[in-house]
Structure 1
Amino acid sequence: MRRFLFLLALLFTLAHGGAADAHVRSESHSVWELNGGHVDLVMIIPALEAARLERGRSQPSDAALEAYLAQRVYPLADGRRCALVPPIQALSARAGYRRYDFTFACPTAKKMTIRSGAFFDLVPSHINYAQIQNARTGEFTEQLVTRDRQMLEVAGGEADRLKAAGFPDFVRMGVMHILTGVDHMSFLVGLVLISRRVKDLLFVITGFTLGHSLTLALAVTGVLRPQADHIDALVALTIALIGLENVAVQAQRPGAVAAAFAAALAAMVGLKLAGFGALPALLLLGAGLFGANYLLACGQVRDAARVRLAITVVFGLIHGFGFAAGLLDEPLPPQRLGELLFGFNVGVEMGQLALVGAVAGLAWALGRVRLAPPRPIVVDAAAAGLVGVGAFWFVTRAF
């Protein structure tokens, strides 16, 4: 029965982490075609988003929606805003959507940038999926536009730098993504702390690598792209779970810890149903079931190393989507995705091995000179810290 609940929870978490409540997610789509100094833009707006201009009471007129978009969505060339060439055309669209065509004339084709700032003033968590094609070179990229990233360089500057980058540059990007990501580093430190033997550490690192390699590739190639803020919250939850596992094992009360964890997530489900919080109720429910069963399993299995291998594969799946967010912030050259993915993944592995090696080496060195406090004290203190910081990040990201 416990295995069944565990699998059910896993399916809930993975299936609904990115897709649950997709019908109420705030999003829009844009298609940009660059042809020298001539730029054509097609904006696809769900009717739900358009109604936000009228506070949901009705649909705005074409003129009102066109004026709103024209002030917030446009290209720039060499730092100067491109001129809008009238008229804006309202195109036919499938039921539930509105579609508009904009044409812009830019004074130059150098250092082209696009700005997509629509709807962020109404819904801060809004996401725009931008497709960008250069008609002269045939290059095609897809980028995510968020409130904190409304400007995208599409020619010159960072865009050209990445196209000219070599394999070592991709590796360096992966290394820096690990060494500058505080949440990913916290999780890796937690893996070291719960591993009492080298074999245990090899199990968890292997599982984590398998998981994040898969979802990194799926996200960057566009096969799966869960909502970024959901993934950020789940990454924080994995950090708290690593700490809670130690608490459950050391206190020898896995049932109580699992019940407390499940109750906390159930309370968040209740708040979501009452209208508070950004995470979908099904995602919270799945995370609660999965986490509670994970804590029960690790607290009752005599050799938890093999259980952790399976669990860290799941954790790796979540972190892989988080790694992908760093790549999706770049104007990715589609013809070099394979090389970029391989190099970035190599860099991620180098970064995590360097971090794990440094932490393990420091612990060994302190032990050799007899300066290290007893391991149970260190692990318990670190576990408490992981629970605290993971829970804080999870709650703040959930609300």
Structure 2
Amino acid sequence: MPARARGVLVTLLVAVAVVAFGLIASAPASAHGFTSVVYATVAGDRSGHVRAALDLEYDLLVVSAADAQNDDGLFQEGQPAFDHRDEAAEAGALENHSDTVLGYVSKRFTVMSAGSACTPKIDGSVAMKQRDGAPYATVVFDYACPKPSSAHVIGSTLFPDAEGYVRDTKTVLTYNLDTHSGSAALDAQQPSFSTEQSTGERFWEFFRLGSEHLLTGIDHILFLLALIAGSRRLREVVYAATTFTIAHSVTFILAATHLVSAPSSVVEPIIALSITAVAVWYLLRLWQGRADAARLDIARGPLGLDRPGWLRLGVVFVFGLVHGLGFASALGIDEPWSWTLLWSLLVFNVGIEVVQLSIIALVFPLLALLRHRSPRLFIWVTVVIATGVSIAGLVWFVQRVLGL
């Protein structure tokens, strides 16, 4: 390729990268864009009553309920409380407009028994908490069911795309009902759940939830791209990806079963920092101006695993542990440990890994082909990728530390 044409191509690549990562960095600090997660804990008793404790993103609940129920008072009272991070005022705004909250939620979170709808009412006061770095309101609903039944159907269409505030809302459901207990994931494609759900259906939900979580988690994808860009041989990216998998699997299961915990205010900034660290690692290796193998972050030795290689894997392992805490936080299951829960967590993790391997299978051969055809252009492309990834990670780190 002529030098002039190569220069033009590199300039275009840099321009595209700057625009793309500028858009990424200007997005909300949340790793998952304009999405929301509802956390629901549902339990029943022999009297026919079903209690549902819903954790709802506060700001989203205020604007959605106020708009849907034409209650400007809730918006005027709730938004200042949110802006000042006053939890007592936030809870008070929802309690003062409990009819609005009930009217909104009752149409979008339903419980059916023997084919009949159960009638909800708000039970107790509103509590505030932090989840995923955002304020959440815990509202408890008591559903009176007219007909006793050995099976219930729970539906959730909370915060749908049609309302225009978020997209891809998921409801993570933990239940202890009809002598059954477990977890389920509801979204626009599968908005309802029956306590008579089969094992296969349950596991498919968690596989899909895991795969979608990685696909919509741009920070995890960028971390993986940084690993791919810094690996010359397939075995190197396999070593790095396997190390990352082992690490995040350990903390994911431990955190999801409540054996370890860490606040999202700590986990999320470290995840963002890990993205920058892995990308900068590759750039520094290039900058050192060593031999070609060293510049491509290829450690010397028959297996490519001398001290620099082991150090890289160690760094990936440590960051993988932190990413596992992030995966568990997103899942948000709150149920006692059981073999069924463990299998659900493993299936969720398999969904993550399938997407991860698919990204490697797609991106690595393209970079390998580019390296074979034009080694210098390969260097430029990977530098652009690593630079963009490092900038995005650094911006997210600052945003998450400052709570923006």
Shorter chain as normaliser: what TM range?
Answer: 0.5 to 0.7
Residues 1:106 and 2:142 are matched in the alignment: no
1:376-391 maps to which residues of 2 (within 5 A)? 376-391=379-394
AA partner of residue 317 (structure 2): V
1:162/1:335 CA distance change after superposition, 3 Å: farther
Residues 1:316 and 2:320 are matched in the alignment: yes
C-alpha separation between the residues in 2 aligned to 1:391 and 1:308?
20
Q: 1:183 aligns with which of 212, 219, 229?
A: 219
For residue 212 of structure 1, what is the aligned residue in structure 2?
Answer: 248
Residues 1:348 and 2:349 are matched in the alignment: no
For residue 358 of structure 1, what is the aligned residue in structure 2?
Answer: 362
C-alpha separation between the residues in 1 aligned to 2:205 and 2:100?
40
Residues 1:338 and 2:346 are matched in the alignment: no
For residue 32 of structure 2, what is the aligned residue in structure 1?
Answer: none
Residues 1:77 and 2:111 are matched in the alignment: yes
C-alpha separation between the residues in 2 aligned to 1:355 and 1:179?
10
C-alpha separation between the residues in 2 aligned to 1:352 and 1:237?
20
For residue 181 of structure 2, what is the aligned residue in structure 1?
Answer: 139
1:245-256 maps to which residues of 2 (within 5 A)? 245-252=281-288
SS at match of 1:133: strand
1:363-397 deviations in Å (ceiling 9; x for gaps): 222344x2554443223211111112222333444
Whether the aligned pair in 2 keeps the contact of 1:153 and 1:331 (CA below 8 Å) is no
For residue 267 of structure 1, what is the aligned residue in structure 2?
Answer: none
Q: CA deviation at 1:320?
A: 1.6
SS at match of 2:389: helix
C-alpha separation between the residues in 2 aligned to 1:380 and 1:154?
46
AA partner of residue 105 (structure 1): A
TM-score (norm 2): 0.53
1:329-371 deviations in Å (ceiling 9; x for gaps): 7999965223223333334333323322332211222344x25
1:43-82 maps to which residues of 2 (within 5 A)? 76-78=110-112, 82=118
Whether the aligned pair in 1 keeps the contact of 2:252 and 2:324 (CA below 8 Å) is yes
Q: 2:44 aligns with which of 16, 22, 34?
A: 34
1:382/1:169 CA distance change after superposition, 3 Å: same
SS at match of 1:362: helix
Q: CA deviation at 1:131?
A: 6.0
Q: CA deviation at 1:103?
A: 4.2
C-alpha separation between the residues in 2 aligned to 1:116 and 1:70?
12
AA partner of residue 383 (structure 1): A
Q: CA deviation at 1:37?
A: 8.3
SS at match of 2:176: strand
Q: CA deviation at 1:249?
A: 3.3
Whether the aligned pair in 2 keeps the contact of 1:73 and 1:115 (CA below 8 Å) is no
AA partner of residue 392 (structure 1): V
Larger RCO (CA within 8 A; separation ≥ 6): 1
1:319/1:376 CA distance change after superposition, 3 Å: same
TM-score (norm 1): 0.54
1:73/1:335 CA distance change after superposition, 3 Å: farther
C-alpha separation between the residues in 1 aligned to 2:217 and 2:196?
25
AA partner of residue 383 (structure 2): D
1:161/1:226 CA distance change after superposition, 3 Å: farther
Q: CA deviation at 1:191?
A: 0.6
SS at match of 1:139: strand
1:167-178 maps to which residues of 2 (within 5 A)? 171=207, 173-178=209-214
Q: CA deviation at 1:222?
A: 2.8
CA RMSD of aligned residues (A): 5.2
1:77/1:342 CA distance change after superposition, 3 Å: closer
1:252-304 deviations in Å (ceiling 9; x for gaps): 49xxxxxxxxxxxxxxxxxxxxxxxxxxxxxxxxxxxxxxxxxxxxxxxx942
For residue 132 of structure 2, what is the aligned residue in structure 1?
Answer: none
Residues 1:242 and 2:278 are matched in the alignment: yes
Q: CA deviation at 1:209?
A: 1.6
Whether the aligned pair in 2 keeps the contact of 1:171 and 1:347 (CA below 8 Å) is yes
C-alpha separation between the residues in 2 aligned to 1:83 and 1:224?
38
C-alpha separation between the residues in 1 aligned to 2:281 and 2:212?
29
For residue 237 of structure 2, what is the aligned residue in structure 1?
Answer: 201
C-alpha separation between the residues in 1 aligned to 2:196 and 2:308?
48
Aligned residues: 292
For residue 273 of structure 1, what is the aligned residue in structure 2?
Answer: none
1:219/1:177 CA distance change after superposition, 3 Å: same
SS at match of 2:201: coil
AA partner of residue 133 (structure 1): N
AA partner of residue 186 (structure 1): L
Whether the aligned pair in 1 keeps the contact of 2:211 and 2:354 (CA below 8 Å) is yes
Residue identity (%): 25
AA partner of residue 311 (structure 1): V
Q: CA deviation at 1:306?
A: 0.9
Say which is worse superposed, 67-76 or 342-351, in terms of deviation: 67-76
AA partner of residue 394 (structure 1): F
1:352/1:84 CA distance change after superposition, 3 Å: closer
Whether the aligned pair in 2 keeps the contact of 1:39 and 1:104 (CA below 8 Å) is yes
